[in-house]
Amino acid sequence: MRCEPNISLRPFGQKEFGAKVELKNLASFRAVELGVNYEVERQTELLEAGKPVEQETRGWRDDKGITVSQRGKELAEDYRYFPEPDLPPLIISSAYVAELRSKLPELPDAKRERFMNDYGLTSYEANLLTASRARGDFFEEAVAADGGGKQPESAKAAANWMLGDFARLLNASGIEIEESKVTPAGLRALVALIEAGTISTTGAKGVFEQMFETGKAPGDIVSEQGLTQISAADELTEVIEKVIANNEKPVADYKGGKEEAIKFLVGQVMRETRGRAKPELVHDLLKEHLSG
């Protein structure tokens, strides 16, 4: 640790600043505290006695708990504060400063606050999404509706994808978000498919991995592979009956009062349908079949 505090006392009512004393040889936080306190007391005693405080460098003696003089410094030149002849004084107008300020990009702190206020994100989520400019820009493009409007209701879902599956795949691939084949428009389209009920969240995970690998639009992947979510009860009846017939123990457990067993059966139906079934519908249909 290197810490070289400067201590200067100015008696109440005095306009001129007091002499500055620089402390060295402070190797711990405790030494800083003791050294500064000692120097304040030493200078106070000198001033109260009407004696001058010399501008100097003093070293901390940890073994004795005191500061000792090392060398005197009376002028700015002693600190190597020399004027630079090749750098003339610059006078910058307030109008020029305002012009430069207007061209600055939005800074992370301001973006973080805006993400929390505009999109309802938590402080943790906003912090992660503004960790880099590229990540913050990607998120905003992903939640921008056609025409430039904002969709706060979709922002939470987009944030979850970016901080979950997307971050995992980026880390595993060792690339940055701007190098990814997934575009903001692609993520926005995936969220829209889930919200519309076209695909389930479970099925969307597989779609997203293919988006990451190929750069294809989620709608094209869903169409090519027939991943549209099954939301009609009659389409699931055969699969549910098959799962019930092939899993006697979980069925017996559920009927015996272990309601948690139905989660296993829901998972089996989801596997049979490759994630295309609507989980809520599967749960209700299973309960209906098992209660019969």
Give me the CATH number covering residue 278: 1.10.10.410
Q: What percent of the chain has pLDDT over 90?
A: 50
Residue 68 β-bridge partners: 59
Chain segment 39-58, per-residue pLDDT in tens: 999 999 999 999 999 999 99
CA dihedral sign of residues 156, 121, 184, 271: negative
Domain boundary among 30, 59, 79: 79
Tell me how many domains the chain contains.
Answer: 3
Domain boundary among 201, 225, 249: 225
Query: Is the pLDDT reported for residue 74 higher than 60?
Result: no
pLDDT range class, residue 147, cuts 50, 70, 90: very low
Task: Tell me if 102 is assigned to some domain.
Answer: no
SS3 labels along 127-141: HHHCCCHHHHHHHHH
The rounded distance, in Å, linking the Cα atoms of 260 and 230 is 24
Task: Tell me if 257 is assigned to some domain.
Answer: yes
- State the residue for tokens 């009376």: 74
Chain segment 87-125, per-residue pLDDT in tens: 888 899 999 999 999 999 898 999 999 999 989 999 999
CA of 284: how far to CAs of 77, 234, 290, in Å?
84, 13, 10
Task: Tell me if 103 is assigned to some domain.
Answer: no
Contact status, residue 161 vs residue 187, Cβ threshold 8 Å: yes
Task: Tell me if 37 is assigned to some domain.
Answer: yes
Q: Looking at the structure, do residues 160 and 259 belong to the same domain, yes or no?
A: no
- The reported pLDDT for the residue numbered 79 is 59
Query: Is the pLDDT reported for residue 146 higher than 60?
Result: no
Q: Looking at the structure, do residues 214 and 269 belong to the same domain, yes or no?
A: no
Task: Tell me if 221 is assigned to some domain.
Answer: yes
Contact status, residue 26 vs residue 60, Cβ threshold 8 Å: yes
Q: What percent of the chain has pLDDT over 70?
A: 91
Q: Looking at the structure, do residues 183 and 251 belong to the same domain, yes or no?
A: no
Q: Looking at the structure, do residues 72 and 127 belong to the same domain, yes or no?
A: no
User: Which pairing describes strands 21-24 and 6-7: parallel, antiparallel, or unpaired?
Assistant: antiparallel
pTM metric for this prediction: 0.56
Task: Tell me if 94 is assigned to some domain.
Answer: no
The rounded distance, in Å, linking the Cα atoms of 162 and 156 is 10
Task: Tell me if 84 is assigned to some domain.
Answer: no
Domain boundary among 42, 58, 79: 79
- The reported pLDDT for the residue numbered 236 is 80
Of 17 and 42, the structure prediction assigns the larger pLDDT to: 42
The rounded distance, in Å, linking the Cα atoms of 135 and 125 is 12
Range of the domain at 189: 108-225
Contact status, residue 193 vs residue 208, Cβ threshold 8 Å: no
Q: Looking at the structure, do residues 201 and 118 belong to the same domain, yes or no?
A: yes
Q: Looking at the structure, do residues 269 and 211 belong to the same domain, yes or no?
A: no
- The reported pLDDT for the residue numbered 150 is 55
- Burial letters for 20-36: b for 16+ Cβ neighbours within 10 Å, e otherwise? ebbbbebeeeebbebbb
Q: Looking at the structure, do residues 238 and 216 belong to the same domain, yes or no?
A: no
CA dihedral sign of residues 88, 94, 97, 103: negative
- Which residue in 124, 217, 213 sits closest to 172, CA to CA? 213
Task: Tell me if 95 is assigned to some domain.
Answer: no
Number of other CB atoms surrounding residue 231 within 10 Å: 15
Of 263 and 85, the structure prediction assigns the larger pLDDT to: 263
